[in-house]
C-alpha cells in the first residue's frame, strides 16, 4: 500500500486509533503519522495494529550561536510548521524559526522497510551559526515492558532498564551540565560507539535507530530522560520520559546551507540479531575487509609487555623476549607479543623518535632478539607447548612466535626533535583559539611526583596531513626491516577527541571527519604493507567499524566482561574482525573473564600488572588461560578460524546458561558457560546435526548433548551434519 494523506483517507489502526488530522505513511511493514498542526510524531509502528512507540512529541531541536551568546536553543514547540504529503513522503517545513531567518525542511519516507528521516537547513541570519541539529527525536518514547537498551559501546552493551540507565548517570560529571533539566547518556560514533546505531530490544521485536551515513562524520547517539514537562528534576526517579535520536553538527553560518538524510528508524521483528542484520546490510555498501593472514586468525592473543617505562625503569630487556617472555607465552598457548616501550626514550616518551636502545646493543641486538623469539631460541624450544603440539611445525622457515611492534599513531612529545624542529607545528591539531591541544600522560613509579607533577606533554597529530602519514608509513617499513610480524598503531581506531578547528571564517568550526581521516590513513598503510608482504599484519587500538575494516587485528580500549558487556553484537555483525578483551591484569575474577573471551570470540590481551609483569606471576590466570587455549588449539578451524555466529544454529534448554556458536562448513561449535553462582544443567541441540566431540573446564560434566556446569564451568560441544 502506498502512503496516503490520512486527512482525506483516515486508516483504522485498531478500534481505538483513527487518524483524522495527521499526515501518515502506511506500508506493509511501517506505519507513521505526523500531526498536521504541530508537526509532532503521533504514531510509529510496524503495522496499523502494532505497538505505538511515538509519544506525540516534537521531532527536533537545534542550537545556534550569536556573538553575545553560545548555544541558544530552538525547539519544535517554538515554531509553526507547514505539514504536507508529497507522494509517499511526509514534509515538515519551517520558513523561519521564531524570529530568526533560519529555514528548516524535514522529510520522512519509507525505504526498504525502514523509515528514513531527512533534514535541510538554511541560515539567512547575519552573524549567527547553527551549531547542532538534533533530529530525528522520538520523544516520550513508549517502550513495551521488558525492552532493553542495546548500544554499540565497546562493541556492544546491553542494559535491562533503559530509563534507569540514562537517568542514573554518574552525577559527578553533571556538575557542568543542566542536570536538573534532563539526564543524558553520552555516546558518539565513531568513538565509544563502535558502530553508528543503537536499539531498544525485546525478546521478539524492537526499535532500531541507525545513522547510515557513509561520510563517517562524528554523530551523537541521543539518549535522554526528561522530568514531567515544566518541572525540575531533583532525583533520579523524576527523569522518566525517554527520548532517543541523533545529534549532528552542521555548523551553518549565514549564507550557508546543509542537508543530511542518513537517519533511519526501524520497528522490527526478531531478537537482537536482527539489529545486526539491518546494520550489516547497510555497511555492505561501503565496508570492505580483506582476509587477514592465517597466523593472525590462529593467534589466541598476545602478551602486552612494556620493556622500558616512561620514567626510565627497565621492566624487561631485549634478551628477555626470546627468554622468559617466550616461556611465559608458551606456558599458556600464546605465541605473540605486543611490544611496548622497546625504544630508548621509554613508553609514552619521545614520540615520534623511537630511538633504538644502544645500551642494549642497538639495532643488531633488537633484530637478533626478534629473530630468536620468532623462530625459537635454545632457551625455549624444548618447553612444552600447551595445546599446540599438533600445530608446531618442524619447518624452520615458519615462525614459532609472532612479534607485534608498537608505535603511537597520534601523539607527539613536545620535547621531541620532530616537534622542536617544526614538524609539530605543521601537523598538530589546534583548538578553537588556534592553540595546540595537549595531552598529559601520568605514569608513576613508586613515588608520587611523577603521577601528579612530572608528566609528559604531547600534542595531537592531524591524520589528514601528508607529513604525518609519511611518518606512519616509515614506521611500518621500520617494523618490517626489524623482522617483526606486524606493526601496531596506538589510538588510531576512533574519531579524535581533540579535533582540529578551522578559524578562517566568522566562527571557529571543529572538524567532524577525523574518524574518516584515520580510516583513510590505515587504508593507505595497509595497501603499502600488503604490497611489500601480504603476510605482514596491521593493528590498532579502539574498535570502530570505519577503521577496523583496514586492520588485521584490533586491541580494544575498555572492559569487555562487565555485567552489561555485550561484545557479541559487533562480533556477530562483523565476524571478520579479530579483536581482544582487556583489563585482565591479575588473579582477580579470572575464570569468568577468561571464559568470556572464548564465549564471545575475543582474543586475550595479557597485560599483567598493567604490562609491567608476566603471566607466570599470576598462577590462577596462567592455569586457566592454558586450559582455555588448549580447547582453542584443539578446534582452531572453528574457534579461531571459524565464523562467530552468536545464537544461531542451536538451542539451549536452560536460559540461565550462556551459549554462543562458531561455524565453518558443515561443523558447529557451541561454547557454553555458567556465569551464575549455582550449578546449572541444560541440553544443547543443533537441528540436523549430531554431537561428535566435546571439551570442558571444571566444574563441568558433559554427557553427549547434556551439560552440567558449576559456577564458572565451561564446555565446548562440536556438532557435525
Residue 341 has pLDDT above 70, yes or no: yes
**Region 585-606: what's the mean pLDDT?**
97
**Mean model confidence pLDDT for the chain:** 93
Percent of the chain beyond pLDDT 70?
94
End-to-end alpha carbon distance in the chain: 43
Residue 687: other Cβ atoms inside 10 A: 8
pLDDT band at 583; cut points 50, 70, 90: very high
Q: Where are the domains of the chain?
A: 52-283, 294-634, 643-720
Cell numbers of 463, please? 591524520
Q: Are strands 486-490 and 537-541 parallel, antiparallel or unpaired?
A: parallel
Q: What is the tens place of the pLDDT at every residue in 101-146?
A: 999 999 999 999 999 999 999 999 999 999 999 999 999 999 999 9
* d(C-alpha 138, C-alpha 140), whole Å: 7
User: What is the reported pLDDT for 649?
Assistant: 98
**Do 643-720 and 294-634 fall under one CATH topology?**
no
Contacts of 605 (CB under 8 A, 6+ apart): 301, 302, 304, 338, 555, 556, 580, 581, 582, 584
pTM for this model (two decimals): 0.94
pLDDT band at 377; cut points 50, 70, 90: low
For domain 643-720, the CATH class is mainly beta
Q: How far is CA 562 from the centre of its chain?
A: 15
Residue 516 backbone phi and psi in degrees, to 5: -65, -40
Mind giving me the DSSP string for 314-351?
BS--GGGIIIIIHHHHHHTT--EEEEES-STT-TTSST
Residue 546's Cβ-side half-sphere holds a number of Cα atoms within 13 Å equal to 29
User: What is the reported pLDDT for 7?
Assistant: 38
User: What is the reported pLDDT for 381?
Assistant: 43
Residue 571 has pLDDT above 90, yes or no: yes
User: What is the reported pLDDT for 452?
Assistant: 85
Q: Give the CATH architecture of domain 52-283.
A: Distorted Sandwich (2.70)
The count of residues in the chain is: 721
* d(C-alpha 275, C-alpha 151), whole Å: 11
User: What is the reported pLDDT for 425?
Assistant: 83
Hey, which bits of 456-570 come out as E strands? 456-460, 486-490, 501-502, 509-510, 537-541, 553-555
Hey, which bits of 215-295 come out as E strands? 219-226, 241-248, 252-253, 257-269
Residue 293 has pLDDT above 90, yes or no: yes
Question: Closest Cα partner for 46 from 280, 241, 196, 265?
Answer: 265
Domain topology for 294-634: TIM Barrel (3.20.20)
Residue appearing with cell numbers 617466550: 326
**Region 394-406: what's the mean pLDDT?**
86
The answer to whether residues 520 and 550 touch, using CB atoms and an 8 Å cutoff, is no
* d(C-alpha 234, C-alpha 354), whole Å: 53
Amino acid at each position: 500500500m502506498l502512503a496516503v494523506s490520512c486527512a482525506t483517507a483516515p486508516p483504522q489502526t485498531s478500534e481505538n486509533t483513527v487518524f483524522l488530522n495527521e499526515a501518515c505513511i502506511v506500508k506493509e511493514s511501517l506505519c507513521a503519522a505526523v500531526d498536521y498542526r504541530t508537526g509532532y510524531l503521533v504514531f510509529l509502528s510496524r503495522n496499523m495494529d502494532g505497538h505505538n512507540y511515538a509519544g506525540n512529541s516534537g521531532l527536533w531541536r537545534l542550537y545556534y550561536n550569536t556573538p553575545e551568546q553560545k548555544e541558544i536553543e530552538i525547539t519544535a514547540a517554538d515554531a509553526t510548521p507547514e505539514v504536507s504529503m508529497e507522494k509517499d513522503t511526509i514534509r515538515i517545513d519551517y520558513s523561519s524559526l521564531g524570529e530568526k531567518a533560519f529555514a528548516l525542511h524535514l522529510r520522512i519516507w519509507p525505504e526498504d522497510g525502514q523509515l528514513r528521516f531527512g533534514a535541510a537547513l538554511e541560515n539567512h541570519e547575519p552573524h549567527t551559526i547553527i551549531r547542532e541539529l538534533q533530529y530525528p527525536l522520538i520523544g516520550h518514547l513508549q517502550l513495551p515492558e521488558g525492552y532493553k537498551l542495546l548500544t554499540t559501546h565497546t562493541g556492544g552493551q546491553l542494559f535491562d532498564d533503559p530509563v534507569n540507565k540514562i537517568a542514573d548517570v554518574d552525577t559527578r560529571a553533571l556538575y557542568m551540565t543542566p542536570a536538573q533539566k534532563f539526564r543524558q547518556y553520552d555516546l558518539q560514533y565513531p568513538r565509544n560507539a563502535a558502530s553508528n546505531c543503537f536499539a531498544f530490544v525485546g525478546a521478539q521485536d524492537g526499535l532500531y535507530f541507525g545513522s547510515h551515513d557513509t561520510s563517517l562524520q562524528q554523530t551523537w547517539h541521543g539518549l535522554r530522560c526528561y522530568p514531567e514537562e515544566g518541572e525540575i528534576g531533583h532525583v533520579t526517579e523524576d527523569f522518566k520520559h525517554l527520548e532517543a535520536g541523533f545529534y549532528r553538527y552542521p555548523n551553518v553560518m549565514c549564507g550557508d546551507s546543509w542537508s543530511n538524510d542518513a537517519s533511519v528508524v526501524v520497528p522490527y521483528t526478531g531478537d537482537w540479531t536482527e539489529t545486526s542484520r539491518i546494520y550489516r546490510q547497510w555497511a555492505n555498501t561501503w565496508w570492505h575487509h580483506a582476509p587477514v593472514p592465517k597466523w593472525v586468525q590462529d593467534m589466541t592473543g598476545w602478551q602486552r609487555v612494556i620493556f622500558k617505562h616512561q620514567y626510565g625503569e627497565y621492566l624487561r630487556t631485549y634478551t628477555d623476549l626470546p627468554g622468559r617472555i617466550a616461556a611465559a607465552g608458551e606456558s599458556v598457548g600464546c605465541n605473540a607479543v605486543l611490544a611496548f616501550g622497546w625504544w630508548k626514550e621509554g613508553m609514552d616518551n619521545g614520540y615520534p623518535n623511537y630511538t633504538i636502545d644502544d645500551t642494549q646493543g642497538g639495532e643488531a641486538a633488537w633484530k637478533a632478539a626478534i629473530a630468536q623469539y620468532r623462530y625459537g631460541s635454545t632457551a625455549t624450544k624444548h618447553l612444552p607447548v600447551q595445546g599446540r603440539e599438533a600445530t608446531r611445525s618442524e619447518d624452520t622457515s615458519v615462525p614459532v612466535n609472532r612479534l607485534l611492534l608498537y608505535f603511537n599513531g597520534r601523539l607527539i612529545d613536545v620535547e621531541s626533535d620532530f616537534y622542536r624542529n617544526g614538524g609539530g607545528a605543521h601537523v598538530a591539531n589546534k583548538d578553537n583559539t588556534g592553540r595546540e591541544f595537549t595531552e598529559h600522560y601520568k605514569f608513576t613509579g613508586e613515588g608520587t611526583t611523577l603521577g601528579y607533577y612530572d608528566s609528559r606533554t604531547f600534542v595531537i597529530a592531524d591524520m589528514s596531513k601528508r607529513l604525518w602519514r609519511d611518518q606512519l608509513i616509515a614506521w611500518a617499513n621500520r617494523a618490517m626491516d626489524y623482522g617483526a610480524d606486524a606493526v601496531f598503531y596506538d589510538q588510531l581506531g576512533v574519531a579524535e577527541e581533540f579535533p582540529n578547528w578551522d578559524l578562517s571564517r566568522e566562527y571557529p568550526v571543529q572538524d567532524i571527519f577525523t574518524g574518516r581521516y584515520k580510516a583513510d590513513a590505515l587504508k593507505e598503510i595497509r595497501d603499502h604493507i600488503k604490497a611489500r608482504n601480504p603476510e605482514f599484519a596491521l593493528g590498532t587500538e579502539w574498535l570502530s567499524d570505519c577503521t577496523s575494516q583496514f586492520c588485521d587485528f584490533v586491541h580494544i580500549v575498555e572492559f569487555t566482561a562487565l555485567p552489561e558487556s555485550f561484545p557479541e553484537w559487533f562480533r556477530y555483525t562483523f565476524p571478520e574482525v579479530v579483536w581482544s578483551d582487556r583489563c585482565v591484569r591479575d588473579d582477580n575474577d579470572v575464570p569468568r573473564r577468561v571464559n568470556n573471551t572464548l564465549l564471545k570470540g575475543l582474543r586475550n590481551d595479557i597485560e599483567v600488572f598493567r604490562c609491567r609483569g608476566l603471566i607466570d606471576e599470576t598462577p590462577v590466570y596462567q592455569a586457566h588461560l592454558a586450559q582455555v587455549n588448549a580447547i582453542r588449539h584443539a578446534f582452531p578451524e572453528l574457534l579461531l578460524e571459524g565464523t562467530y555466529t552468536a545464537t544461531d544454529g542451536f538451542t539451549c534448554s536452560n536460559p540461565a546458561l550462556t551459549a554462543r556458536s562458531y561455524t565453518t562448513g558443515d561443523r558447529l561449535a557451541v561454547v557454553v558457560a555458567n556465569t551464575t553462582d549455582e550449578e546449572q544443567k541444560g541440553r544443547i541441540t543443533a537441528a540436523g546435526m549430531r554431537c561428535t566431540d566435546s571439551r570442558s573446564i571444571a566444574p563441568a560434566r558433559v554427557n553427549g548433548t547434556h551439560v552440567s556446569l558449576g559456577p564458572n564451568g565451561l564446555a565446548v560441544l562440536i556438532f557435525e551434519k
